[in-house]
Chains A and B, each alone.
Chain A
C-alpha cells in the first residue's frame, strides 16, 4: 500500500528559518495551568510573540525530569483534573482559533501508555500535532513508540545530554524532527551556568545529526538564546515561561476580561523578548 508523504510541519518550519538565517524559538507551557481555555489563549499569545513552534506539556504526578517551577504548574493543573486527552485537544482548539505553528506534545510515558499507544498517536495526528517528546523513554525502550509515531507521521523527538557520550551518534542517527540537546546536567529550570563542555557537546551532536538540533533546559533570557543561536537551530524555553504564567496567575484567572488580557499580554511580551535576533552570517 502506498501512502502520500505529507511533509511534516516541523521540517518545513526549520527549512524556512534556515533560509532566513534565523533560530527557532520554541516555548514550552504546561497545559491546564490555570485552565484549558487559558492554555489555548496562551498558545495564541506565544505565536503572536513570534514563537515558531510550541511544546504543549502534559502535567504528570511524578515529573522526574522537571524542576520545581514545572512541578508546581503540574500540581496546579492536576488539581483541575486535566487529562492527557484534554491536553491533546488544546492543539485542535488553538488551530481552530487560527494558530499556524507546529505543535509538539511533551508527555511522560505512563499517561500515553495507559491511554494505549495506538490511540495516543491516532489522537496526536487527529488533533494536528507534528511531534512528541517523551522524556522518560530512552532509545532502548522506544521501539514501539517510534514505529507508531512514524506510521502516524509524527516526529518522535529524542533528547541527548552532555552525559550521553557514545550514545549521541546512535540517538542522532535515528532522530526525527530535531535533536533536543539538554544544556546541563539536572532537571528543567532556570540556571545561570551551563554544562562546561556544552560547546563541544553541541558540535558533537551537530556532526552526528542529519536533522536540526535545539537546545533546552535552563534557557531563560534573550542573552541565553543568543549565546546558543549560532550553534543550534532552535532554543527551547520552558520553566522561565511557566514561571511568568505563575506570576500572572492572579490576572489570568480573573473574571474581568481586561485583567485577563493584561495577563496574556504580559506572557506574550516575555516570550517576544526571548527571541534571539537574526544571525547575519
Chain B
C-alpha cells in the first residue's frame, strides 16, 4: 500500500495542519528535526537503549492459556505493554519525543493528560533528561486521578489544572496548545497520541510501532505464523496504531479497534467517535469527530479516562475508510466485566482502556477455531483504575438498592 502520510501530513483526506498561524513554524521546525533524526543511527540508538534498559523492552507476548481455554475458541496472546516502566505504552512515545526535544536544544517540555498516564510518562522522561516540565490536566481529572497528580509532582513536574470548557482531556489539549502558542520559542510540546496536527500523528505512530514490530516477531516465534486478528483499544489511538501498523500490509490479519461506548452508543454518554461521529476538523487535524449538526464538538464519556475523547487519530479514520481496519464499540459495563474476568483467570488487572480490547476479544474468540490466533494489545495496567472501579461498582449497587 502507498505510504501515508504524504508530505502535507495527509492520510487520504484526513490529517493536515489546522492550527493558528503562530504555531505553523514550530510544526515545520518539528517536522524538519524529526526528518533529520528519524533515521539517524545515534538518535535511534539512544531511543533503543532507553526503551530497553530504562523501560524494560521488549515486553512479552504472553499466551493467555486459561482465558483461551475458558472461552473455548481462538488462542489469545496478550502483548504486555502494561509491563513497561510507568505501566503503559505511553512511555514508548515520550522517550522518543524527549530525546528529540533534547536534540532540538529545548529545555522545557509541556504535555496534556487525561487520566494522567501520558502526564506521568512525560514527567518521568523529563526527570530523566533534566527537562523542565508542565502538564496540563482538566480540573475534573485532577480530582478523579489525585494519585497521578501527586506522582507527577513527585517527579518534579508542575501540574496545571485546566478550568476551561468540560475540564477534561479535550480542554487540557486546547490549553496545552494555547500555552504552546505563547511559549513556542523555547518549549517543546510532547503530544501523547496519534492526534493533533502533522507531524504528530506520524511521529507518535513511528515511536509506538515498536509494539507491533515486537509482536509480529514474537508471534512468529511462538506459532510460526501471523495472527488472524489483532485487537486494540482506541481513544486517540496510539497503542492501536502502534500494534496495527506493522501488520497493515499483511492482508489476512484482521485489525480491530475498540472504542468506548460508555453507557451505550444510543445514549448521549459515549466516546464512540467512529460509530457516531463524522469527519471534521478538531484540534489540528481532519478526522472523525463527535460533533453536533453545527460542528460544535460534543463532550465524550467513558469510564476509562484514556478513551474519554471526542476525536481520533487521522490514520485510524483513513484505515476505516479504506476498510483496512474495523472499529467497534464496547460499553463501560462490558469493559468492567472483561476486567474482572481477566483478573480472575490470568492474574492480570488490565487498565480500563485495555479492558475494552479484552471485552471485544471475549466476543470474538469463541466464534473462532482453536487453531486461530488473536493478539490483544494489553496497553496498560489497571492499578491506576482501582479507585474508579470501586466507585463505579458502589454506584451501581447504590442504584440497584
Mark A residues whose CB is within 8 Å of B: 60-65, 67-68, 71, 75, 78, 83-84, 109-115, 135-141, 158-165, 167, 171, 182, 185-187
Contact = CB atoms under 8 A, between A and B. Distances in A.
B22 A83 contact: no
Interface in B6-29: 8, 16-26
Interface in B155-193: 164-165, 170, 174, 177-178, 181-185
A164 B25 contact: yes
Contacts of B26: 163
B295 interface: yes
Given A110-B295, A111-B294, A136-B20, A187 B283 contact: no
B182 A187 contact: yes
Nearest to B170: A62
B296 A111 contact: yes
Nearest to A166: B25
A178 B202 CA distance: 35
B22 A141 contact: no
B208 interface: no
Interface string B259-282: 000000000000000000000111
Contacts of B280: 110, 113-114
Interface of B: 8, 16-26, 164-165, 170, 174, 177-178, 181-185, 280-284, 289, 291, 293-298
A160 B183 CA distance: 17
Contacts of B18: 109, 136-138, 141
Contact of A84 (B164, B184, B185, B294): B294
A169 to B, nearest CB: 13
A158 B178 CA distance: 19
B195 to A, nearest CB: 13
A247 B184 CA distance: 32
B295 A84 contact: yes
A83 B19 CA distance: 22
Contacts of B177: 64
Contacts of A83: 294
8 contacts: A60-B296, A62-B170, A65-B181, A137-B18, A138-B19, A160-B21, A163-B21, A185-B184
Contacts of B181: 65, 185-187
A186 B184 CA distance: 9
B192 to A, nearest CB: 17
B19 A62 contact: no
A118 to B, nearest CB: 15
A16 B189 CA distance: 45
Contacts of A159: 20-21
B22 A113 contact: no
A185 B284 CA distance: 18
B17 A141 contact: yes
